[in-house]
Structure 1
Amino acid sequence: MRDPYLYEDVPILKNILGIKSQELLDEAEADYVVYRLKDVVVNPLVGDYHTEHFLKMHQVIFQDIFDWAGSPRTISIYKEEDVLSGQSVEYSDQFDIVSDIHHVLKDMRDKEWDSFNLEELSNQFCNSLGVLWKIHPFREGNTRTTITFCCQFIEAQGIRINRRIFEENAVYVRTALVAYNAFFSDGSDFSKKEYLYKIVYDAFSGQ
């Protein structure tokens, strides 16, 4: 099945700017998205941390690039990962995206975050961040949206987190999220949770 998110003549995501060069699109996206991310830090996105709030976060961050920003993807996605020897994380089926987000966010809201010590806090945040990311609800922009949303959520609970550590180690963070979710429906489990835990622990401990 052809990917409807791509231009017909080049394998580039259709975008509001009409750019058909991956290099130029990456540059434009970086400029616009960095601006939006900084704005969200200064002016947190108002919401109740339910599904629509999460979808709105993506819309705000990527509104300048994609006309489908904030809308769940309509196709299955498969992303070959070097750390998984070319396999992909098993992301949510497109028909389950909304319900999966609903269940993950309910679990997040139900946790007694202020009762956790540093180790428990780091583990619980890793779990919430990891399972929400594994849904991969959007065709593009999942990691930035999920991390931004989860950081805003935890700060709304009165808990400080060093967001900059995620920004400065973006490649590591995404690889850690892949490793965290390296388990499959056939029962095989190659997950390595310690990598994500390490950077989350550092983010909470102020390192």
Structure 2
Amino acid sequence: MQPTYSIDNPRLSYQTKLDLWETGFGLQKVDGLEPSAYMIELAQSQAKGDLTYQDVHEEIRRYHAEVSAETQEADLVALRIAELLSRRGFSFSPGTLLSIHKELFQDIFPDEIPVGTFRRTNISKKEYVLGSDSVVYADYTMIEATLDYDFTQEKKFAYQGLTKEEIVAHIQQFISGIWQIHPFREGNTRAVIVFLIQYLREFGFDVDNEPFQKNARFFRDALVLDNAKMLQKNSQPLTQFFENLLLNGQNDLIL
């Protein structure tokens, strides 16, 4: 029998690969991280086809061991985001979110912070956009059940007949809800964004990654405001971000 499937190994253009790298670098700003200048040089070489992702990994590991480990998290997570987004496989399930988290943060966080598994404690975080208050995240005992419910409801949702604006509004609501669960001890926003980009591709959206490259911190703050307590809740910034991301919006993403 002759094979009926082709091996999926897309030959990405220089500009496409560079765009993925810039997305990976931009997402580090969610946590105030910046890549090393050397990592940026290696990214250029990989985008040109001079290095493979494995070559970059080995070289940046050597740099961290011999020169400086100060930017290790930003460098390695950006590399993993670029490589992950260069692949086209996707499955819509909580398991994919777990897999993304594990791939991005394996060997990055201290041993006491679990990677690729749901958190086993309740958490809070002081947010400057809430005057040092915190979003109320899902109780850790309910994470798996809540994710399963949200994913099941999303699978059942009928997008047929909706305008593009209505589709984007619903995806925005779904992703904001997943982020509010905050299933992981650390790394939630970056993992959710990578999942979102993959999900939007599955929809067939032509995703403009520039808002993530330049305004990742705004996106996180917008998620915080969208999930704040009732008197502090403000969904407008998140709506503006999604308009720029998917509807050719030109909103100034400034809080």
1:192 matched to 2:238? The reply is: no
Q: 1:200 to 1:92 in 2, by over 3 A?
A: same
> Does the CA-based 8 Å contact 1:113-1:157 persist in structure 2?
no
C-alpha separation in 2, matches of 1:31 and 1:126: 29
**1:148 paired to 2:194:** yes
Q: Deviations over 1:67-103 (max 9, x none)?
A: 6321111111010111111110000111111111111
Partner residue of 1:112? 158
Mapped partners of 1:201, 1:121: distance in 2: 11
Residue 6 of structure 1: aligned partner: none
Structure scoring higher RCO (CA < 8 A, sep ≥ 6) equals: 2
Query: 5+ unaligned residues in a row in structure 1: which ranges?
Result: 1-16
Counterparts of 1:80 and 1:136 in 2: how far apart (Å)? 15
Give the superposition deviation at 1:114.
5.4
Partners in 1 of 2:161 and 2:83 — Cα distance? 30
TM-score, normalised on structure 2?
A: 0.65
Q: Which structure's residues are more often helix, by fraction?
A: 2
SS in 2 for 1:72: coil
AA partner of residue 70 (structure 1): G
Instruction: Tell whether the 8 Å contact from 2:207 to 2:245 is kept in structure 1 after alignment.
Output: yes
Whether the 8 Å CA contact 1:94–1:137 is kept in 2: the answer is: yes
Tell me the equivalent position of 2:101. 58
Q: Conserved in 1, the CA contact under 8 Å of 2:90 and 2:198? A: no
Which residue matches 2:174? 128
Give how far 1:45 is off.
4.7
* Equivalence map 1:159-170=2 (5 Å): 159-170=205-216
Task: Give the drift of 1:24.
Answer: 5.4
**Residue-by-residue CA offset, 1:95-127 (whole Å, 9 max, x unaligned):** 111111111222222233454323212211210
Check whether the contact 1:114–1:157 (CA below 8 A) recurs between aligned residues.
no
SS at match of 1:95: helix
- Kindly, what percent of the aligned residue pairs are identical? 29
Provide the TM-score with structure 1 as the length reference.
0.79
Paired residue secondary structure (2:135): coil
Gaps of 5+ in 2: 1-60, 250-255
> What RMSD over aligned residues (CA atoms) do the two structures have, in Å?
2.2
Higher-Rg structure is 2
Q: Give, in angstroms, the shift of residue 151 of structure 1.
A: 1.8
Q: Distance in 2 between matches of 1:174 and 1:151?
A: 15
Give the residue type in structure 2 aligned to 1:40. L
Q: 1:101 and 2:147 equivalent? A: yes
Query: Which region of structure 1 is more displaced relative to structure 2, 100-109 or 71-80?
Result: 100-109
What is the correspondence of 1:6-25 to structure 2 with a 5 Å cutoff? Answer: none
Q: Deviations over 1:38-83 (max 9, x none)?
A: 1121114543x11212111111111241363211111110101111
* Count of matched residue pairs: 181
Given the superposition, is the C-alpha separation of residues 55 and 204 from structure 1 closer, same or farther in structure 2, using an over 3 Å criterion?
same
